[in-house]
Amino acid sequence: MNAPVILDRRSVLAGSGALIVSFSLGRALAQEKAATPAPSLPASLKTSPYLDSWIRIDANGAITVFTGKAELGQGFKTAFQQIAAEQLDVPFASLKVITADTGLTANEGYTSGSHSMQDSGTAILHAAAQARALLLAEAAKRLDLPAETLRTDNGAVVAADGRRLGYGELVASDLLHTQAQPESPLKDPATFKVMGQSVPRVDIPAKVTGGAAYIQDMRLPGMVHARIVRPPSYGAQLVECDAAAVEKMPGVLKVIRDGNFLAVLATREFQAIKAMRALAGGSKWQENAKLPKQDELPTMLMALPSHDSTIFQRSDPSATGLRTIEASYTRPYQSHGSIGPSCAVAHFVDGKMTVWSHTQGVYPDRQAIAEMLRMPLGDVRVIHVEGSGCYGHNGADDAAGDAALIARGMPDTPVRVQWMREEEHAWEPFGPAMMTKLKASLDGNGKIADWHFEVWSNTHSMRPGGAGCLLAAQHMAQAIPVPPAKPLPLPEGGGDRNAIPIYTFPNAHVVHHFLPDMPVRISAMRALGAYHNVFSIESFMDELSTLAGADPVEFRLKHLDDPRGRDVIAKAAEGFGWLKGQTAPRDRGFGFAFARYKNLAAYCAIATEVEVNRETGRVRLVRAVAAVDSGQVVNPDGLVNQIEGSIVQSTSWTLYESVSFDDTRITSIDWQTYPILRFDAVPDSIDVHIINRPGLPFLGSGETGQGPAAASIANAIANATGKRLRDLPLSRKRIKDAIDA
């Protein structure tokens, strides 16, 4: 093997040539045969196959990892750095991660659906492993040694005789500018040093010391401040405004009026706010009363035109039900409620627009902005900068559109747009209202014989792509209409996300009633339809277990074949101390729920204990115990943080939250009118148990807890009170009314 080795990069990565020992021989040969047609690449490598789209190594050895996904506080930036460090065999701290930027990173669409680890993390895993293989092969060539005698260590390839070649030396020319191959020489999980460790998050130090950590902290030289005067309601038309008076106010640079898009620009931020208030006060709008009646949401949803489709059907005539129950569940419109209102900075120089945004999709937002401004796509760059947690499509993209529209009229001047609290609450696209109807029968053995599930819902994504999704484009004089809504396709789905039961029932029928008309502005909110569908399914499973006289955990296991699902259920039950035939203390209740997010991502089971004040109807989550299986875990503490957060946030949605409106305006416009969970309602404890699956694919986890937490709490309330609540939120008043009924 000491003969000079002639390599080309493709053969190295395909597993032939000098590196064959690193790969399975059988697999390598199989790949050779399958060379045409192009084999399927893992995750986001499919759309961005070049290794240097993901990993770049400079001549000085500096390594940069690129991801098209946006860090939103989920902590994946740290996890990606761990993945790359592990597979490249370099110290964690020696890497840098660059996130979503249309000028620098791959187009990975939206950061959504718990896809970051699955799509981008997996791409980085393979790209880093393949880069390491190329570095080893290049070193073998230069050292004239067989690759199997070489090892990698601390950013260098090391020979048995002690000679070292740094990655920077090896990477000369375009070594990594090559297409990825389907198989990678991944490290054995048993040897992991960085992956699987709770490495502290890289973004936290700046966040707890006042570093510049957010888009709100950007200060470009000469930057000016904009505030928008939004219409008071959907569809309102600007009749008149007193721009001249406002333009005389201190610091005011100009008033922008473009159709119904009204904004003010000032040198200093508080001057802009004062001017905005004056401008709003002096404006007259023609409004129209066309919002639905808030307390008749189920009727309203069912009255909307719908496109109906059966999305799942199974039948086994030998199984027949004896006892049948049915129930309907509803969810109101709910708000993302980011703590920091949306913000963006735009700078228009020499015909090129740069926008800094906390959008979850830099490429789609760029497309929308370019279309709105009628600019060539290549002249617009959108760079992600972290904002306040968004949990879906909040005002981020709209603020980016606002900033770009204003900045185009102010060439060379950086323009910062900061939304106000009322603006975020009234104008963000909400999580859609939903309704489900369930009906099921038990056979003579207390097993479910048939299952019927229907869900009524809008789409769960009106994210940009087209300019009509941006408020500024909708409001400007040459308005661009809102594009027609489309249902999100299965298997992930939108309104029907998690509508198909994971349990095995001999007869099952699932119908999706897609509602194209959107009386209230809606879009993607964490977990989409899965929040309500899992709440419905897992509440109804409890109702059925009561009918069967069975323990809720045992009842679920009786209907579940998926072994990983069974494992998380068993783990959560064990961690909670769940006992068959248990009785909760007085005024307390125990609940249980389970789901596999989208039926294809992470598994999550949650057991809860709640306390109910019978006099007031007030409920408090006392403790929660969760078990989660996300496949191979990269950062256990990061995963625990996500699940803890998911449980607390879902508790808030489930117990308190509902967007309110009258016939014209959204009336939940701040934290008084849209109350969320505060510290007095924080549980005593949340325990998260991770079932690690070394070497198995990453399964998205950021949204897996939303549905199970809601149903687990509803089930615990039913256990405590003997009353079943089926309308979200499970508010103090509804609980009190149920107890008193």
Partner 1 sequence: MTTLKVNGQEHQIEADADTPLLYVLRDELKLNAAKFGCGLGQCGSCTVIVDGKAVLSCVTPLLLVEGKQITTLEGLGTDEAPAPIQRAFMEEQAAQCGYCIAGMMMRAQALLQRNSKPTDAEIRAELAPHLCRCGTHMRILRAVKRAAHLMDTAELLPANQGSAR
Q: Are 417 and 320 in contact (CB under 8 A)?
A: no
Name the minimum Å distance from CB 608 to partner 1.
14
Q: CB of 687: closest distance to partner 1 in angstroms?
A: 10
Crossing angle of helices 636-656 and 706-721, in 10° steps, is: 50
Burial of 305 (0-12, 13-18, 19+ CB in 10 A): exposed
Which lies closer to partner 1 via its Cβ, residue 96 or residue 163? Answer: 96
Name the minimum Å distance from CB 274 to partner 1.
8
**Shortest distance, position 213 Cβ to partner 1, whole Å:** 7
Q: Do the Cβ atoms of 513 and 456 come closer than 8 Å? A: yes
Whose Cβ is closer to partner 1: residue 240's or residue 680's? 680
- Smallest distance, partner 1 to C-beta of residue 492, A: 23
- Tell the smallest beta-carbon distance from residue 689 to partner 1 (Å): 15
Rank residues 500 and 607 by Cβ distance to partner 1 and give the closer one: 607
Q: How far is the CB of 135 from partner 1 (least distance, A)?
A: 33
All residues at 6 or more sequence positions from 147 whose CB lies less than 8 Å from its CB, including other chains? 5, 18, 19, 21, 22, 136, 137, 139, 140
Which residues, listed in sequence order, are joined to residue 507 by a DSSP beta bridge? 450
Smallest distance from partner 1 to CB 728, Å: 17
Nearer to partner 1, 616 or 685 (CB): 685
Q: What is the contact surface with partner 1 in residues (CB under 8 A)?
A: 72-75, 198, 200-201, 203-214, 216-217, 219, 250, 268-270, 273, 337-341, 386-389, 391, 418, 420-421, 637, 641-642, 644-649, 651-652, 670-672, 676-680, 682-683, 685-686
Shorter beta-carbon distance to partner 1: residue 225 or 460: 225
* Nearer Cβ to partner 1 (142/678): 678
Angle at 98 between CA 95 and CA 102, to 5 degrees: 155
Residue (149 or 198) nearer to partner 1, CB: 198
For residue 685, the minimal CB distance to partner 1 (Å) is 7
Residue whose CB is less far from partner 1, 59 or 682: 682
Sequence-distant (≥ 6) Cβ neighbours of residue 223 within 8 angstroms: 345, 413, 414, 415, 416
User: Based on CB atoms, which residue is closest to partner 1, 182 or 200?
Assistant: 200
- Closest to 67 in 3D by CA, of 13, 113, 125, 9: 125
Provide, rounded to whole angstroms, the least separation between the CB of residue 498 and partner 1.
20
Give CA 201 to chain center in angstroms.
19
Smallest distance, Å, CB 152 to partner 1? 30
Q: How far apart are CA 499 and CA 537, in angstroms?
A: 8
Separation CA 308–CA 25 (nearest Å) = 51
- Tell me if residue 474 falls in helix, strand or coil: helix
The residue among 525 and 553 lying less far from partner 1, judged by its C-beta, is: 525
| Cβ-based nearer residue to partner 1, 489 or 679 | 679
Query: For residues 463 and 565, what is the distance between their CA atoms, to the nearest angstrom?
Result: 32
Residue 183 identity: E
Q: Which long-range contacts (CB under 8 A, 24 or more apart) does 238-243 make?
A: 238/262, 238/283, 238/284, 238/285, 239/284, 239/285, 239/286, 240/283, 240/284, 241/279, 241/282, 241/283, 241/284, 242/279, 242/282, 242/283, 243/279
Write down the residue that tokens 């002690």 correspond to.
162
CB of 484 to partner 1, least distance (A): 31
140: Cβ–Cβ under 8 A, 6 or more apart, which residues?
Answer: 5, 18, 19, 146, 147, 150
Which is it for strands 237-240 and 63-66: parallel, antiparallel or unpaired? unpaired
Secondary structure (DSSP) of 244-300: HHHHTSTTEEEEEEETTEEEEEESSHHHHHHHHHHHHHT-EEE----PPPGGGHHHH
**Alpha-carbon gap, residue 719 to 542, rounded angstroms:** 10
Residue 143 or 213: the one with the smaller Cβ distance to partner 1 is 213
